[in-house]
Amino acid sequence: VGGSDNNGNIDSEFVNDITLSLSQGNGLLTTATGFTKAPITGIANWNDLKYNSAGTLRILASSTGVNQVLSNVISVLNDSTSVVSSSASQPAAIGISSLKAFPAAAVEILRFRINDIGETDDLPTIVKSIKISRAEITDAASLTKTIGGVFVKANGNPVGISEPDIKTNYFTFTVNENTLVAPNGGFVDVSISIYLNEEGLTDNQKIQLIVDTTNHGFTIYPSGSMFNPTFPMQVTSNIFWIDVAASQIKFASIPIRVGVLLPFNITINATDLNNNTDKDFSGSVSLSRLTGNGILVFPAGSTIAIAQGNSIYSALTYSIPEKFSLLASCPTLNNIASPLITCGDSDGGIAAI
């Protein structure tokens, strides 16, 4: 700021103190060297002015004996240099039991670090929303069908988040304000844990999560530093897989009505308690008539192997019209009775009398 004539020419002999003050703006204007300075050859310089809020401001300069002058509108933007990087280690790859389908059973699956570079704004990075994507690997699980819930920790402490919006290949959530904060010039370590849906899981499908470098979906609350549009590296978890362990057999497909001596099919699966199929199960199942007086015919035999978690009885027939039921048994699992099946002729009709 300098003393000048009406045409803007600097008066190099101007020596009156010049004082700066904030004229417009809601933030705090600071300087380590003071707001009042004596000009040198007519000009006073401030090289350390700082403003603690994003937005706009105007600065008023005043000195005795001359008119006050108001600066143009100055726009202040927070740093946009915050980034995400990988943590020192990732959770070890494990099979996630299909029974881990409640919050207390959540499994840690991904770690990353949020870094506030701390260039000029002296502000922390206050995280608002996070996007976690699926790595596109062979036999990747649908996140929608697989993930039942998400938990987040910051430096080991739980963080409040919204209900996650879970899509096939990514999920997002909003963080409660001021609960996930990287201090100015510092970092915060973040941990992501998940638990599974109860049903609809596919045994041995894989889960690998990433934080993308571009289109990363990380956003901030406006009172802090902003994220760089591009992160320096992709953060990648180890590969986890869904582990279904059979504890029962179930009738997966069974008719409610069949015709006399007409073929019908029945499917029996080896499943966990939530009816997810165990594709690794090795064993056999036997089928027999439980109730009824007819003859049940098995073209391929009454005992068959369970392969990929299921066994299919094809072209069974029943000999008389009545209601009957079946019993399925497995040497290493349970026995289970079927619902009643109605066997009846399909050529009946109504006639006038």
315-334 pLDDT, tens per residue?
999 999 999 999 999 999 99
Report the DSSP beta bridge partners of residue 316: 264
Decide if pLDDT at 186 tops 60: yes
Report how far residue 342's alpha carbon sits from residue 100's, in angstroms, rounded to the nearest whole number: 39
Token pair for 24 = 């417009």
Contact indicator for 12, 2 with CB cutoff of 8 Å: no
Tokens of 236: 């990648």
> Which one-letter DSSP state was computed for residue 140?
B
Q: Are 174 and 104 in contact (CB under 8 A)?
A: no
Neighbouring CB atoms inside 10 A of 334's CB total: 11
Mean pLDDT of 147-161: 97
121-130, 153-162, 268-277: which range is least confident on average?
121-130
What type of residue is 341? Answer: I
β 341-343/235-236 pair status: unpaired
Q: Give the pair of three-digit tokens for residue 336.
A: 């289970």
67: tokens are: 């008119």
> d(Cα 216, Cα 70) in Å, to the nearest integer?
41
Rounded to whole angstroms, how far apart are CA atoms 186 and 178? 15
Please give the average per-residue pLDDT across 123-133, as a whole number: 96
Task: Give the DSSP H/E element, type plus range, for residue 303.
Answer: strand 303-306
> What is the reported pLDDT for 349?
42
Higher pLDDT, 51 or 288: 288
Pair 182, 82: CB distance under 8 Å: yes
Task: Please state, in angstroms and rounded to a whole number, the distance separating the CA atoms of residues 88 and 82.
Answer: 18
Q: What is the model's pLDDT at position 352?
A: 52
Q: 89 forms bridges with which residues in the sheet?
A: none
- Average pLDDT of the residues in 185-205: 97
pLDDT in tens, 38-53: 999 989 999 988 887 7
Structure-block tokens of residue 309: 């978690």
Q: Phi and psi for 93 in degrees, rounded to 5?
A: -70, 130
Determine the residue type at 185: G
Do residues 62 and 90 lie in contact, with contact meaning Cβ atoms separated by under 8 Å? no
For residue 256, the model assigns a pLDDT of 96
DSSP string, 233-246: S-EEPPPEEEE---
Q: Which helix (H) or strand (E) holds 144?
A: helix 143-146
pLDDT mean over 86-98: 97
Cα–Cα distance measured from residue 164 to residue 83, given in angstroms and rounded to the nearest whole number: 22
For the cut 60, the answer to whether the pLDDT of residue 346 exceeds it is: no
Give the model's pLDDT for residue 120: 78
Distance CA 221, CA 224 (A): 6
